[in-house]
Amino acid sequence: MMIQAVEEYNDQSKEEDDEDLPRSLSRRQLLLSVIYFVSLSSFFVSSLSDSVYHQFLDLFLLLFFLLTRIIDESTGDAAVVDPVDPEKVIASAEEHQVKIKFVLTTHHHWDHAGGNEKIKQLVPGIKVYGGSLDKVKGCTDAVDNGDKLSLGQDVNICALHTPCHTKGHISYYVTGKVGETPAVFTGDTLFVAGCGKFFEGTAEQMHQSLCVTLAALPKPTQVYCGHEYTVKNLEFALTVEPNNEKIQQKLSWARQQRQANLPTIPSTLEEELETNPFMRVDKPEIQEKLGCKSPIDTLREIRNKKDQWKG
**Catalytic residue positions?**
107, 109, 111-112, 165, 188, 227
What letter does residue 260 receive in the DSSP assignment? T
Q: CA gyration radius for the chain?
A: 18
Helix (H, G, I), strand (E, B) or coil at 214: helix
Helix (H, G, I), strand (E, B) or coil at 173: strand
> 102 and 127 in contact (C-beta within 8 Å)?
yes
> 79 and 100 in contact (C-beta within 8 Å)?
yes
The span from the CA of 98 to the CA of 5, in Å, is: 17
Distance of CA 6 to the CA centre of its chain: 17
Distance of CA 186 to the CA centre of its chain: 4
Helix (H, G, I), strand (E, B) or coil at 306: helix
Side-chain-side CA neighbours of residue 223 (13 Å): 30
Helix (H, G, I), strand (E, B) or coil at 69: strand
